[in-house]
Amino acid sequence: MAPTTGNKIVLIGAGDVGVAYAYALVNQGLCDHLAIIDIDERKTWGHVQDLNHAIPWAGHSTRITVGSFADCADAAMVVICAGVAQKPGETRLDLVARNVEIFRGIVGKVMEANFAGIFLVATNPVDILSYATWKLSGLPSAQVIGSGTVLDTARFRYSLGQYFGVSSTSVHAYVIGEHGDTELPVLSAGSVAGVPLAKRLREKAEVAEDVSKIFRETRDAAYEIIQAKGSTSYGIGMGLARITRGVLHNADVALPVSALLQGEYGFEDIYIGTPAVLNRSGIRQVIELDLDETEAGQFRHSASVLTDVMAKAGLK
């Protein structure tokens, strides 16, 4: 695929996640035109006006408009945050049937506009809906990216940084697999301030116990936050902006996203969270991490859960 030109983004879905993403875009000046589509047109108009009123102090001249599907024709990226929201106590996979139906309509309208850019999917269950977007759009898999475990990885790195007393930017560890209950941390390949996590875990038994607890809190963080404030938005909004920057800046950056496996980890025809190299063409390369035996088993379980759900949803 030839890289798209221009930095126009069409955002579909102006709920909490979509608006947090839009605000991050404006703050970082990542696009020259942001068109926002939502079924609540009045509320969308309000968000557009509010965001435009931030432009004089943003230092970037982003154009922000109420959009239509016709805007997709010349967009570099279409970012989908629309769908049924996750309820307290509801798993991401519980959402699948309702949101797959919504995506049939959305993706169909986007493709009717002759869209040829990059899809970025954030709606949950994101791995399933990224796969659905790929199938429904007919685009190469490189042009369909899911937010995957970008948020889970950020949460894990933040918490590890707090625990070890270093900046989260000095923590290098991935969470992979389903963005949800079967995800797993790759401790065997992680490091904190240059020291391998595996070494830190071997040195003190209590560290291993604490890190296991930190991961469980990472995995379950969304449920706690949803109970407290109704939704999660800022972390995923910033994660989406980071993915967007990697694509539009042609950065060849490795980020944990939902990508199509084509033999990696022994699986094919499934979207799942894994590091991948992103640039202007989308997913340039899926990175297969060297997992230890325990991690490999956990990953197989995560992939099998997603495969079963896709089959039940009629996607496979």
> Domain coordinates of the chain in residue numbers?
8-146, 150-312
Calculate mean pLDDT across residues 213-242.
95
Per cent of the chain over pLDDT 70 is: 97
Higher pLDDT, 124 or 166: 166
Res 194: pLDDT: 97
Please pick, among 53, 179, 249, 301, the residue that the annotation labels catalytic.
179
| Architecture field, domain 150-312 | Alpha-Beta Complex (3.90)
Rounded to whole angstroms, the Cα distance separating 226 from 229 reads 5
Rounded to whole angstroms, the Cα distance separating 190 from 61 reads 39
pLDDT for residue 2 is more than 60: no
Neighbours of 45 (CB within 10 A): 15
Rounded to whole angstroms, the Cα distance separating 134 from 6 reads 23
Higher pLDDT, 314 or 210: 210
Q: Residue 53 catalytic? A: no
- One-letter amino acid of 3: P
Neighbours of 109 (CB within 10 A): 16
pLDDT for residue 307 is more than 90: yes
Kindly state the tokens that stand for 279.
């640039």
Calculate mean pLDDT across residues 311-316.
84
Kindly state the tokens that stand for 34.
């942001």
Calculate mean pLDDT across residues 61-83.
97
Confidence at 127, pLDDT banded by 50, 70, 90: very high
| Residue-averaged pLDDT of the chain | 95
Q: Where are the alpha helices (DSSP H) in 29-171?
A: 41-52, 55-58, 96-112, 126-137, 150-164
pLDDT for residue 90 is more than 90: no
Q: Which residues participate in the annotated binding site for substrate?
A: 86, 92, 124-127, 152-155, 232
Residues forming a β-bridge with 273: 177, 258
Res 102: pLDDT: 94
Confidence at 267, pLDDT banded by 50, 70, 90: very high
Backbone φ and ψ for 6, nearest 5 degrees, come out as: 80, 170
Ranked by mean pLDDT, the top range of 75-89, 95-109, 166-180 is 166-180
**Cβ pair 52, 64 in contact under 8 A:** yes
Helix axes 293-312, 126-137, angle to 10 degrees: 60
Rounded to whole angstroms, the Cα distance separating 279 from 247 reads 4
The Cα diameter of the chain in Å comes to 58
Kindly state the tokens that stand for 164.
């070890």
**Cβ pair 133, 121 in contact under 8 A:** yes
pLDDT for residue 291 is more than 70: yes
Per CATH, the homologous superfamily of domain 8-146 is NAD(P)-binding Rossmann-like Domain (3.40.50.720)
Q: Which residues participate in the annotated binding site for NAD(+)?
A: 13-18, 38, 43, 83-84, 99, 122-124, 147
Q: Which residues participate in the annotated binding site?
A: 13-18, 38, 43, 83-84, 86, 92, 99, 122-127, 147, 152-155, 157, 172, 232
pLDDT for residue 207 is more than 90: yes
Confidence at 92, pLDDT banded by 50, 70, 90: low
Res 41: pLDDT: 96
**Buried b or exposed e, range 301-315, using 16+ CB within 10 angstroms:** ebbebbbebbeebeb
Q: Which residues participate in the annotated binding site for beta-D-fructose 1,6-bisphosphate?
A: 157, 172
Res 96: pLDDT: 86
Res 5: pLDDT: 63
